[in-house]
Amino acid sequence: MSDLTFSLVTAIFTVGGLAGSLLANSFIDSWGRRGTHRFCAILVALGAALMGLSSNLYFLLLGRVIIGLGNGLSLCVGPIFLAEIAPSSISGSIGVLTQLAIVFGIMITQFIGINLATPALWRFVFFISFCLAALQAFSASVVVESPAFLLKQGRLEDHKHAAYRLWAEESLLNEDYEEPRAASPDNVTFSQVFTSKELREPLMIVCYGMLAQQVSGINAGAVLYYSNDILAKSLPELGPYVSLGVTVINVIMTFPPIILIERLGRRPLLLLSTLGGMASVGALGYGLDSGASTFSSLAIITFVMSFATGLGPIPFVMIPEVSPPYAVSSLSSVALSLNWIVNFIVGFSFLPLRNLLAGGDRFKEGRIFYLFVFLLGFSAFLLFRVYRP
């Protein structure tokens, strides 16, 4: 596979993800949270089957874009579903599970890939993905639908039954779902999201949160682009396990926010994560410019740790918490669409910008990370001006 073909297969996943997030509002409000999750699983199973059985590039691309579509939908509905079924006292902790599921899935995929990434066995990776997605689709029937969605649909008996299954204790029933959701306005459209004065502040919060997450550079590969090269030089005996090791750190450090988010609060945890991320990215830039591979390795590790404790999970927690019930699916769709767009822009522009700022000098490649420090700091400044949980 040529570099151009590999780039196309990689990038088309983002196209599918963006399309899924743009369409998520309609699916979430029409099919419900459980129904949308089942559809996401079906899409992933279909995409994995196409990629695993593909005999040419076209089926590979089609499968990749379908998987992206399922992921885009899932990223929107997941945080909403978790927030609506969680008792309010631990809603933040439950919300962190979105990011934990993402990084845990990446870790498992990398582990499988190390053993199966050969010309004879690579199709088994997609077979495993198909089996897991199919299992999720079939098991969705036993999952409780969101009481919020049922109440919004006027299905009062189903709402009471779902609420009792989730929160059998009377105190939790009264605390969490005797809310005036049915009296909320009708679902809003994309145009209303951008024009409504009531939604202006929630819109800014969720968009600034997603912007800060992506301009940190981690998801588009800007920071992790160097992780394999630098850490492999510092730890040559680990070789192909370097990427897996970085992801394991990401998984481990996503556990502390589950506890800390309700104790320290969203804003302080996000602030600590942002400051740690800025310091680490700046240190990475300095390490690259000075040729200090050990220093750069430590900077990558501390950045991943900082990102996992706040910038990774909290933007997903924000969406259902700051959004009015009637607009949560629309705001989620807008925020996650922005997430995909910025992800693509950062990933697409990273290497050209790095080369431009370095001017062909290998010892100036770290300059690009000073730009990330500025972008992360500026987006966090915009976020903290309006985000006061």
Query: What sign results for the dihedral spanned by CA atoms 341, 344, 348, 350?
Result: positive
Whole-Å CA distances, 377 to 227, 257, 307:
22, 21, 14
| 174 belongs to a structural domain | no
Distance of CA 31 to the CA centre of its chain: 22
Left, alpha or beta for 170 (phi > 0: left; psi -120 to 50: alpha)? Answer: alpha
CA distances from 102 to 96, 225, 251 (A): 10, 19, 9
**How many Å apart are CA 39 and CA 41, to the nearest integer?**
5
Asked if 314 contacts 266 with a C-beta cutoff of 8 angstroms, the reply is yes
CATH number at residue 291: 1.20.1250.20
CB atoms inside a 10 Å sphere around CB 365: 18
pTM over 0.85: yes
Query: Whose structure tokens read 């730009």?
Result: 371
Q: In terms of residue numbers, what domain contains 78? A: 3-143+184-386
Band the pLDDT of 40: cuts 50, 70, 90: very high
* Residues, the chain: 389
| pLDDT score of 182 | 42
Buried b (16+ CB within 10 A) or exposed e, 204-221: bbbbbbbbbbbbbbbbbb
Regarding predicted confidence, which is higher, 167 or 47? 47
Whether the Cβ atoms of residue 285 and residue 368 lie closer than 8 Å to each other: yes
Distances (CA, A) of 97 to 53, 84, 202, 251, 308: 32, 13, 22, 11, 12
287 in any annotated domain: yes
| Domain-embedded: residue 172 | no
State how many domains the chain has: 1
What is the overall mean pLDDT for the chain? 87
Residue 328 lies in a domain: yes
Does a structural domain hold residue 165? no
Q: Judge whether 284 lies within some domain.
A: yes
Domain assignment present for residue 67? The answer is: yes
Q: What per-residue confidence (pLDDT) applies to 236? A: 64
pLDDT tens-place string over residues 224-233? 666 766 766 6
pLDDT tens track for 272-310: 999 999 999 999 999 988 888 888 889 989 999 999 999
Contacts of 366 (CB under 8 A, 6+ apart): 284, 285, 286, 287, 288, 289, 290
**C-alpha span between 128 and 364 (Å, rounded):** 43
* Residue at 246 is within a domain: yes
Kindly report, residue by residue over 348-371, the tens digit of the pLDDT.
888 888 889 988 787 788 899 999
CB 64 within 8 A of CB 51: yes
